[in-house]
Amino acid sequence: MLKHVLKQSTFYTSISCVFVFLLSCAGDLNSNRDHLVFRFNEYANLNTLDPAFSRTLQDNSACNQLFNGLVQLDENLNILPSIAKRWTISEDGLYYRFTLRKDVFFHKHKLFGKDATRSVVADDFTYSLNRLRDPDLAAPGSWVMNKVDDFKAINDSVFEIKLKQPFPAFIGLLTMKYCSVVPREIVEYYGNEFRSHPIGTGPFKFKRWEENIKLVFRKNELYFEKDEKGEQLPYLEAVAITFLPDKQSEFLEFAQGNIDFLNSLDASYKDELLTADGKLRTVYAQEINMIRGPYLNTEYLGFYLDSDVPEIRSKLIRKAINYGFDRKKMMIYMRNGIGNPANGGFIPIGLPGYSKDIGYTYKPEKAKQLIEQFKKETGIQDPEVTLNTTSNYLNFCEFIQRELQKAGLKINVDVMPEATLRSGRSNGKIDLFRSSWIADYLDAENYLSIFYSKNFAPFGSNYFHFKNQLFDSLYNKAFTITDIEKRKLLYTKMDSIAMAHAIMVPLYYDEVVRFTRKNVKGLGNNPINLLDLRYVTKD
């Protein structure tokens, strides 16, 4: 009875929060055009609206509505013009020259003077990229500039970037929100508070942000992009975002029709919404659309190879864990078939270099044999390891725990907050951790950089402290090869080296799953799960 009362209380609290939100937005949103307001919840909250600090998926999706860069991605991850209408790359691969549009204006702000706006010029990119690599700012996106030697405005309409060495994936880096253009006068006026007073060039402009409560964007009447028929984008009048922190409450709001979009599949409601084979249940199929597609995200377990724990240092135990559980079964039970079992390497399906032949399949007898060999060689008769995870992935870790127990390995599962896990992983305080790697840019080098010896954490993303001379030489060689087919062979070889050392346990290659109300059109999907609302309409 108490549980029932608590559930009811949670439900009514969440409903009342949204009701209060709707009332408080009355001044921001015109109620007679409610069908042009796109509403969704961001349970993970936002850290910033400053693109230089936009490093989470949630921050990126918000900043994507407010800012533009030189180039952009379409839903098939093709690189297209944005503020740059065209570009050329020198034969030696060192010089990138961009010709800018002349019809791009910043969102209106009183600091721009009597016209309340001004056009974007090449010097704005000089300022924005200098800001990105300013050591005093310490922006997390500064690494994007690591291979850049210099950049300059040739004139108001031409911007040039010079690299230190050829890097075929560089143009993909420029699609990241880190590289968005920002106006000097606004940034310098607000300083650190630019994070909550953003001015960009995007399809929507900032209206109001009450942190942890709501965020409102309005249509940018000055936006430069048009659709195929010549109609100005975006179609929506406004975007309204709430921040209910509980995924089940978020799902209830969606089921009630209070929000238009759900960008997650959580264990708390997956069986309510989907069948075991990943189809919408009949009760929802009449009111909800499901959009599903590949996601450049590899979920994995990682080993810290400099650990003092013999089991972690042993390739036998690391391989045993890789062989010791059925990934396909795990995906059916834990994800209702959403996602692909990671029986290949670390590079996910959809990127050149992926191979289904270099990973591990379910071989329980092989796992037992490897554990017995470890016992014999070390004299440790009761091997055990501790696996650190967050609560969202507890069910996966407990599944692996049960399966490996059958093979003779004890796994203790330790649940901790995301921030604690991230810190421990970076500082070598955790021997075995659950993590994920989402593509920052569209080249498998992005995934393989995590194994490069010069990227040891905490100063880089090599959380494993893996060092291999052959891997490093191939990694460096890849930068000199512009032919994607030749780079693809190198990428597969590097991935196979990491897998042969079993420095991680790939779990699954994720899928983007989006749910919308039937009246939402034009949302689309993309393999980096970036929210693009330019073409969205509501009937």
* pLDDT classification of 4: cutoffs 50, 70, 90: very low
pLDDT number for residue 6: 36
Instruction: Round to whole Å and give the CA distance between 478 and 455.
Output: 16
pLDDT number for residue 23: 42
pLDDT number for residue 459: 83
pLDDT number for residue 21: 44
Report which residue type is found at 186: I
pLDDT tens for 321-330 read 999 999 999 9
Instruction: Round to whole Å and give the CA distance between 435 and 347.
Output: 14
pLDDT above 70: residue 33: no
pLDDT tens for 177-224 read 999 999 999 999 999 999 999 999 999 999 999 999 999 999 999 999
Average pLDDT, the chain: 91
pLDDT above 90: residue 293: no
CA trace torsion 150, 154, 159, 162 (10° rounding) = -30
98, 70 contact by CB (below 8 A): yes
Three-state SS at 56: coil
The residues, ordered by sequence, that sit 6+ positions from 486 with a Cβ below 8 Å of its Cβ are none
Give the pLDDT mean for 28-48: 78
Instruction: Round to whole Å and give the CA distance between 237 and 187.
Output: 26
- Write down the residue that tokens 């494993």 correspond to: 464
pLDDT above 50: residue 8: no
* Percent above pLDDT 70 for the chain: 94
Give the pLDDT mean for 79-103: 96
Q: What are phi and psi of 346, to 5 degrees?
A: -80, -35
Q: Which of 393, 371, 373, 395 is nearest to 383 (CA)?
A: 371
Handedness of CA 23, 26, 29, 32 (dihedral sign): positive
Give the pLDDT mean for 99-104: 98
Lowest-pLDDT choice from 13-27, 39-53, 135-149, 522-536:
13-27
pLDDT above 50: residue 10: no
pLDDT tens for 339-385 read 999 999 999 998 889 999 999 999 999 999 999 999 999 999 999 99
pLDDT number for residue 34: 62
pLDDT tens for 465-487 read 999 999 999 999 988 887 888 98
Burial class (CB in 10 A: 0-12, 13-18, 19+), 133: middle
The residues, ordered by sequence, that sit 6+ positions from 499 with a Cβ below 8 Å of its Cβ are 345, 346, 358, 359, 360
* pLDDT classification of 50: cutoffs 50, 70, 90: very high
Provide the 10 A C-beta neighbour count for residue 232. Answer: 15
